[in-house]
Each structure stands twice: as C-alpha cells, then as structure tokens.
Amino acid sequence: MKKHSDVTKKLEHNTTAYQSNKIITVAILTYNSAKTINECLESLIAQTFKQFDVIVIDDNSTDNTLKIVLKYLKNKKLNIKILKNGSHSIPTGRNIALRKAKRGIVAFLDSDDSAQSDWLEIITATYKKDPSLAMIFGKQVLTYNTYFAKAIAYNDSAARKLFIHGILLFCTCNCAINRDVIGDYYFNENFKVAEDLEFATRVGENYKWKYVSRMKVNHKTRDNPQEYAKQMYLYGIWKIYYNYWASSYRIIDYVPLCAAIFCIFLSLFNPYLLFAIFILPLAQMTISILNSEAAVIDLPTMFIGWCIKNTSWTIGVICGVITLLSIPNLRKMFASKKLTRSVNGNEVL
C-alpha cells in the first residue's frame, strides 16, 4: 500500500497542465496493466495526428502501472491526466472519462491494445466530413502472444466475418464518441460486461453512427484456456441480459446450447451419439480454416479453442437464463432500462 501511495505523491508533484481544448481526448482504463500499458502509450506517441489529450482512469492498480504512466507524464511526450476509479467497474470508468471530457471527441482505447499510427487521423477526418455522427467504431486487428492465442485469433476472426455485423461490431476498445452530439448519454453501470453493446444500441436508436473499417486497433486475444473460458462464460451470461434488455434475440447465440441438448437427447437412445456434440466445433473450425491463413499444425489448438468457447458460452447462457427466471428484481432492473450513474470519479491529479 505504501508503494502505491509513494507513486501517487510523485504523480501529484510531477503533474503537467491538463488542457481540455484539444480536438480529441483518448481515454484508457487501467487495472494492473503494467505488462501492456507501455505499448499502448507508445502507439499514441506514434500517431500522425498530434492534437489530443490522454486520460488514464486507474482502478486502484497494485502493480507498476502508475509508475509507467508517470514516466510518460515526466517526459511530456503525451499530455496525460490520471483519474481514479476504484469501483472495479468498467462502465463506471468509462463514465468518469465522459464526464471529464464534456466536449469534443472521446476516443476509447483499451490498455492491452495499441492503435495503428493513423487511428486518430482517421477519426478526425471522419467527424470532419460528418459532424452529426454520434459515434464511430472501427476494426479489431487480432494479435496474440501465445500459440493458443493465435488459434483463438483465427477462430474469432472467422466468427466476426460470419456472424457479427452492424451495431454488433461496436467495441469500446476502438471507438470514438462525439460528446457535442450525444450530450448527457453515459454507459449503463448495471452492465458489468457487454456495456459497450448496450450503450451502442441505446445511442444508435437516436443518433447516427458509422463503422469505419480503416480505423484499426491491434487487439490481443486471451493468452491461455483459463482466461478464454472465463471471458466466454461472462459473455454468455451478459449477452442473455443484453438480449432481454434490448428485446433482441439471435438464434446464433443459442446454437451451442441447442446442439448440446440435442446430442444429450440422442445419447438416451445410443450413448455413442453423444460424440455428435463435437460436430459443431468441427464445423466451426472448418469455417475458420476457410476464412484464415491457418496451417495444418494449428488445427488441434483451434479445435480445443472452439470446444472451450462453445462449452463456456453455453454454461454462461444457461446461468444467464436461470438468473433472469429466478430473480424478479434482475428482470425488473433490465426491463426498466434504468441507468445508474457514477459518483466516485475522484481525481488523482
């Protein structure tokens, strides 16, 4: 705790003047991001467009995240402001950024991602061409650090090409929001996951938006099976909550669950038919191969990845459905579309 306190004091001593009159504010949420924040900030230094500020919203990191940010604050290569979150809530952190930057464009970039060098230039050009746009979002270029993550990148790329279109492409790791257009719109803090999709749907019902394919961010996939399983499990739960909130249902979200139920039913007549449950991941893997540059050596890991995704997603979907059916207050909360608001956006600097 003392170590974290010393870093905070240094930050207070070495603060630079924060300017709010720049065209763009880049918002980065951090929590124990020491391994990735350096690459993220370096990608901002390399931007061809230079008229921007940076807000780092730190969620009480216990590693060297703040020390690394301090280095960039000292060398003045970036105009950085550090704000405190402390709620361990992603939508709360995003709302802190939106409230700090009340005017202009707020571009969100995840701390474990890096923006391509023309990212901000494309954002400004897009808004200059059409100032009435409320939000724009771009492409995630999937990258990886491990062999398993490489296989996941192939699978996820294929899934995005085939099943994700329109507003579903929105992701806060690569988006820019026009505060002058949307005004008093904030993220719904009831959504711990899928807060980006909920926000995009709500804004998209009332304002113009655009998908800009040239607006690219390098987005890292999960490094190991445990992290990927947890991610897919949470996505499964919160996608059900989102579907209920938006009264929008897609058959594709329930395919793994239906396939599992069907195969279990078949196994009642012949136990060997239970192995038919692997047909779905095999079919998905085949599609991934046809839509990527995967080599033969990648196939076993890709198959394992699809099995993890289908299993974790299915468990998440089941848990989401059960909780919605068994907890009336949860249904009431999402059905009312009531928004909670952040009250703890305290400044560190």
**How far apart, in whole angstroms, are the C-alpha atoms of residue 104 and residue 125?**
14
Do residues 209 and 251 touch, judged by C-beta distance below 8 A? Answer: no
Q: What is the DSSP string of 166-190?
A: GGGG--TTEEEEEHHHH-S----TT
Q: Bridge partners of 127?
A: none
Task: Find the length of the chain.
Answer: 349
pTM for the model? 0.84
pLDDT at 16: 35
| Dihedral sign for Cα atoms in the order 167, 172, 176, 181 | positive
CATH for 2-223, among 3.90.550.10, 3.40.50.300, 3.30.460.10, 3.40.190.10? 3.90.550.10
pLDDT tens, the chain, 349 aa long: 444 445 444 444 333 333 345 689 999 999 999 999 999 999 999 999 999 999 999 999 999 999 999 999 888 889 999 999 988 899 999 999 999 988 899 999 999 999 999 999 999 999 999 999 999 999 999 998 899 999 999 888 888 887 888 998 999 999 999 999 998 889 999 888 899 999 999 999 999 999 999 999 999 899 999 999 999 999 999 999 999 998 888 888 898 888 888 888 888 888 888 888 888 788 877 877 777 777 778 888 999 999 999 999 999 999 999 999 999 988 888 876 654 443 333 334 4
Torsion of CA 117, 118, 120, 126, to 10 degrees: -170
pLDDT at 337: 60
Q: Where are the domains positioned within the chain?
A: 2-223, 241-336
pLDDT at 37: 96
Do residues 151 and 284 touch, judged by C-beta distance below 8 A? Answer: no
pLDDT at 345: 38
pLDDT at 22: 63
The C-alpha angle with vertex 51 and arms to 121 and 143, in degrees rounded to 5, equals 45
pLDDT at 8: 45
pLDDT at 267: 85
**How far apart, in whole angstroms, are the C-alpha atoms of residue 291 and residue 272?**
31
pLDDT at 338: 52
Surface-to-core class of residue 235, CB atoms within 10 Å of its CB (0-12 exposed, 13-18 middle, 19+ buried): buried
What contacts 68, CB < 8 A, 6 or more positions away? 34, 37, 38, 41
Three-class SS state of 76? coil
pLDDT at 117: 97
Q: Nearest to residue 43, comparing CAs of 7, 72, 81, 14?
A: 72
pLDDT at 235: 94
